[in-house]
């Protein structure tokens, strides 16, 4: 199973909620055909963040969405014009090991997204600490929580209520170097959102534009 995170930028006066809201039925059918599940789109001003899961082979957003050039700007770089740019998985509380292990135990979970900005000179340190955490303590938080990185921007996807359960595997590290004063160690890594209150000065909550929590069907494999 592949977990996919992407970032995009809206055109001026675009309304992504209305655009995709009119296509929900069609998107559900495409998701079934392509073997996708748990699709969510979040928004922060002009920025959009996308999460979905692929049953087997990785599927790019262009294979799922159609007509989105109406609302999205092209992103520079790459061999071909891109509307969505991939974000790298730099941290996850758990990783899928089988369809049965990854199946949601509840049907009323709500996708939850947040965004944060790292100081460019602190990116390597942030990734270092999070790899330690991920491999020393797998299963330490929401089973579906994952952080993606593009440039110095972080996108944190999780689900509410959180699913906390032991990971069915051991991490790759046997050390115990994760700092206990985690918040204090992490704080200097971030550029603060000056327009937000103290509770969102680091991790700003994202608005949920679209969610299609379809289970994996096995199609498209």
Domain extent listing, the chain: 2-212
- For 9, 43, 71, 78, 82, the CA distances from 74, given in Å and listed in that order, are 8, 17, 10, 11, 5
Pairing type for strands 110-118 and 190-191 reads antiparallel
For the stretch 101-119, pLDDT in tens is 998 887 667 999 999 999 9
What share of the chain in percent tops pLDDT 90?
A: 84
Mean pLDDT of the chain: 93
In whole angstroms, give the CA distance from residue 69 to residue 72.
Answer: 5
Model confidence, pTM: 0.94
CATH 3.30.70 fits 2-212, yes or no: yes
Tens of pLDDT, residues 32-83: 999 999 999 999 999 999 999 998 888 999 999 989 999 999 998 777 779 9
Pairing mode, if any, of strands 190-191 and 204-205? unpaired
pLDDT of residue 219 exceeding 90, the answer is: no
Give the model confidence (pLDDT) of 137-152 as tens digits: 999 999 999 999 999 9
pLDDT at 120: 97
């Amino acid at each position: 199973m592949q977990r996919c995170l992407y970032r995009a930028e809206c055109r001026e006066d675009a309304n992504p909620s209305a655009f995709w809201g009119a296509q929900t039925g069609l998107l559900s059918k495409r998701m079934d055909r392509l073997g996708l599940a748990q699709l969510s789109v979040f928004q922060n001003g002009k920025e959009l963040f996308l999460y979905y899961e692929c049953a087997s082979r990785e599927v790019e957003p262009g294979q799922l969405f159609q007509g989105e050039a109406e609302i999205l700007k092209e992103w520079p770089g790459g061999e071909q014009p891109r509307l969505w740019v991939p974000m790298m998985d730099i941290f996850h509380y758990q990783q899928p090991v089988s369809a049965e292990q990854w199946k949601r135990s509840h049907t009323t979970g709500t996708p939850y997204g947040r965004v944060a900005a790292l100081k460019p000179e602190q990116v390597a340190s942030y990734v270092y600490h999070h790899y330690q955490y991920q491999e020393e303590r797998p299963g330490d938080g929401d089973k579906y929580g994952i952080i993606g990185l593009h440039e110095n921007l972080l996108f944190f996807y999780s689900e509410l209520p959180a699913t906390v359960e032991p990971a069915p595997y051991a991490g790759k590290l046997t050390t115990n170097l994760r700092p206990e004063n985690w918040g204090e160690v992490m704080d200097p890594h971030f550029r603060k959102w000056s327009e937000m209150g103290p509770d969102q000065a680091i991790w700003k909550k994202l608005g949920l534009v679209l969610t299609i929590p379809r289970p994996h069907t096995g199609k498209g494999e």
